[in-house]
Structure 1
Amino acid sequence: MHGNVWEWCADWKRTYSAEPETDPRGQESVFAERVLRGGSWINFARSARAACRLRFPPVGRSDYVGFRCARVQA
């Protein structure tokens, strides 16, 4: 379900490492930029995919940034 709003991810934004990493820990600061994925209604159609990402500060707000609720089985 891509293309409605950019979706927040828990990952922090940085350049990919050349070495394999599993769930790397990022900066804990509220000012450290986080990853958004999936594009929004304001972007070209080619941005509506999970591989499309950009950075955004967690304290920022926008009409085209949101989140998706997920149900997790306990």
Structure 2
Amino acid sequence: MEEQYGGTWRLPTEAEWEYAARGGKKSKGYIYSGSNNWKEVTQKENYAYKPVGKFKPNELGIYDMTGNVYEWCYDYYDEHYYSYSPKDNPMGPTMGEKRVIRGGGRGERKISTVYDRDRRSFNVGFRVVYIPD
């Protein structure tokens, strides 16, 4: 993609993912990404995954940050990282055995977990961050 479109493409850090999910500077403080009503942003009754854009977007116009599949983040997991990380835009640990995944859950409040970095699963996908040249 970099050859075709230029710029840099990568997974978001956990902090970037959370900032986007919460609506960035436009955040209204919703419980879920884009709403306090989970039925507006995901589904819980039918556990089939849906194409992107079937539910209401959040304040930044981003779809499906709550529910649907979990999403890989750039960060490796370190349970103590936030005790020593920078307060603004932490980039996460650069080494480890497990990587952070966010989102998923289809109506659940818990939206963060970790997976072994080589694990494959039908319910884990990814988004990318694009940084123009």
Normalising TM by the smaller chain, what interval? 0.5 to 0.7
Q: C-alpha displacement at 1:4, in angstroms?
A: 2.0
Give 1:22-37 correspondences, 5 Å limit: 22-27=90-95, 32-37=97-102
Cα root mean square deviation, aligned: 2.3
Q: Give the whole-Å Cα distance in 1 for the aligned partners of 2:123 and 2:70.
A: 6
* C-alpha spacing 1:65/1:24, structure 2 compared with 1 (3 Å): closer
Residue identity matched to 2:116 = P
Point out where structure 2 has 5 or more consecutive residues left out of the alignment. Answer: 1-63
Calculate the TM-score normalised by the size of structure 1.
0.66
Higher relative contact order (CA 8 A, sep 6+): 1
Q: Give the equivalent residue in structure 1 for 2:72.
A: 8
Residue identity matched to 1:13 = Y
Q: C-alpha displacement at 1:14, in angstroms?
A: 1.8
Q: C-alpha displacement at 1:36, in angstroms?
A: 0.0
Calculate the TM-score normalised by the size of structure 2.
0.41
Residue identity matched to 1:66 = G
Point out where structure 1 has 5 or more consecutive residues left out of the alignment. Answer: none
Matched, 1:61 2:120: yes
Of Structure 1 and Structure 2, the greater helix share is in: 2
Runs of 4+ residues over 3 Å off in structure 1: none
